[in-house]
Amino acid sequence: MMKHGVVLGASIGGLLAARVLTEFCDRVTVVERDVLPGIGANRRGVPQGRHGHALLPRGAQILEELFPGVLADLVAGGVPVVTDLAQVRFVVGGRLFSQRGEVAGDYAYVPSRPYLEGQVRARLRALPEIEIRERCEAVGLAVSEGRDAVTGVRVVPHGEAETTLPADLVVDATGRSGRGAEAWLPSLGYEPAPVERLTVDLKYVSQWLRFPPGVSWPELLVLVGAVPDRPTGFATFEQEGGRRLLSGFGFGEHAPPSDLPGLLEFIRTLAPPELCAVIRAATPLGEPATQRYSGSLRRRYEWLRRFPRGLLVFGDAICSFNPTYGQGMTVAALEAVALRDCLAQGVDGLARRFFRAAARPVGLAWTIAYGQDLKLTGRAGEVPLSARAVNVFADRMLAAAQWDPVVAAQFMRVNGFLEPPARLLRPAILARALAANLRRR
């Protein structure tokens, strides 16, 4: 058992890592720069909170394992759950998914991001080992004399002088900016992790809405994804509090306008006319929120030969994905499982073991998105051979998922990280996919 663990960042990644550390440390301190608001309110350090966040089924399962009862609380709070394909309208790769079929007990949840984070934070805060220090900025690491181990974090609590929090283990979950461990390691004599980037130049514009009494839309979640000859898309989510979130997104010059009339016009080209009419009847709540996402970014910590003891990097600080695939929180949850498994084997070689274990879910999510993103950003010629094969296969499966609810449900399980992609290669699924593709012809 370690005496003290410190987690930097109290967003979803940091909260999950801190929960795991409570099993291995007497005390865990979470250091967060922001003022932490009540459940459901946005905050500065998580600007993406104003945009839709789907919690994929495997992410939901892990959340429940770490915080038993949290999913029931989300539902009691009005968070929609996708239990049936009829509740969602997915147009992916230009094809409408079959709306027949059950999702077999493992559900995706569609909370607003601040509501989810607030619920998880409240549960974490209630644990006796946990202290959350808000308005406290991490500014660097304290290291041993030989600089081979991190011994704590240098922090500046709001309005006070810098101080050092001693720690047996520090987990950097400060997000993708690279102003945490990545920035601090070189001054301690360590190489920064090699970085892979995939520029996508994506813009999101989102607006909260309330439907007038008697007006509703039956599908909890509608998603029309981008396709190479139309690199735009939109989503609308039913959310807790009887609200709807409407988001438009587009790549490069195809970005949606930032004002509401422009956003509605943008969505008119993508949504069924009946849905557009319902959206137009709704009352906007507040102003539209805009966010630009320059590209996916992966730091290959697992490739480093030297890394100090007592330090790990977690969540978006390792890898941040094109948000349209909804993967980030679920990958952070899978990293939490990896962290727990690695810590259960002790702290010898912890960083090497953890970064390798985390690279598995990160790599899977990266592969799912990579070839697709190159196509969507007009670089189909750069798609590597391996990703091309994945793209062709996924395209055939998506074609079949239009007609066959079993193929559609299997696709959802793979996409929801419940099962490995190899499950799509089972003879029974391949036969159904083939039959559906032939019937379609």
Which residues contact ligand FAD (rule: CB under 6 A)?
A: 8-14, 31-34, 45-46, 48, 51-54, 137-138, 173-175, 204, 291, 293, 315-317, 323, 326-330, 332
Exposed/middle/buried for residue 326 (C-beta within 10 Å: 0-12, 13-18, 19+)? buried
- By beta-carbon proximity to ligand FAD, the closer residue of 40 and 433 is 40
Q: How far apart are CA 328 and CA 334, in angstroms?
A: 10
Shortest approach of ligand FAD to residue 112 CB, angstroms? 11
C-alpha–C-alpha distance, residues 264 and 257, integer Å? 9
Q: What share of the chain is helix, strand, coil (3-state, %, to 5)?
A: 40, 25, 30
CB of 290 to ligand FAD, least distance (A): 10
Query: Which residue number, 200 or 394, has a Cβ lying nearer to ligand FAD?
Result: 200
Four-point Cα dihedral 274, 276, 279, 280, nearest 10: -110
- Cα–Cα distance measured from residue 299 to residue 293, given in angstroms and rounded to the nearest whole number: 17
Of 12 and 399, which CB lies nearer to ligand FAD in the complex structure? 12
| 90/403 with CB nearer ligand FAD | 90
Contact predicate 376/92, CB 8 Å: no
Under a CB-based contact definition with an 8 Å cutoff, are residues 34 and 45 in contact? yes
Cα 124 to Cα 117: distance, rounded to the nearest angstrom = 10
Q: In sequence order, which ranges of 55-112 are alpha helices (DSSP H)?
A: 57-66, 70-76
Measured from the CB atom, the residue of 9 and 310 that comes closer to ligand FAD is: 9
Q: State in angstroms the smallest separation of the CB of 281 from ligand FAD.
A: 26
Nearer to ligand FAD, 316 or 373 (CB): 316
- The residue (of 71 and 383) whose beta carbon lies closer to ligand FAD is 71
Nearer to ligand FAD, 315 or 407 (CB): 315
Backbone angles phi and psi of 173, in degrees to 5: -120, 50
Q: How far is CA 40 from CA 58, 81, 114, 245, in A?
A: 23, 18, 4, 14
CB of 417 to ligand FAD, least distance (A): 10
Q: Based on CB atoms, which residue is closest to ligand FAD, 15 or 429? A: 15
Give least dist CB 246 to ligand FAD, A. Answer: 14
Cα 174 to Cα 97, 179, 217, 365: the distances in Å are 36, 8, 37, 20
Shortest distance, position 113 Cβ to ligand FAD, whole Å: 7
Residue 439 tokens, joined: 């019937």
CB 150 within 8 A of CB 309: yes
Helix (H, G, I), strand (E, B) or coil at 348: coil
Residue 215 carries which side chain, given as an amino acid letter?
V
Q: What's the closest the beta carbon of residue 233 comes to ligand FAD, in angstroms?
A: 13
**For ligand FAD, which is the closer residue by CB, 46 or 342?**
46
What is the b/e burial string over 410-422, where b = at least 16 CB atoms within 10 angstroms of the residue's CB?
Answer: bbbbbbbbbbebe
Nearest-approach distance from CB 63 to ligand FAD, in angstroms? 11
Q: How far is the CB of 268 from ligand FAD (least distance, A)?
A: 22
- Rounded to the nearest whole angstrom, what is the least distance from the CB of residue 121 to ligand FAD in the complex? 10
DSSP-assigned letters across all residues of 145-192: TTSSBEEEEEEEETTS--EEEE-SEEEE---TTS-SHHHHTGGGT-PP
The kind and range of the H/E element at 293 are strand 283-299
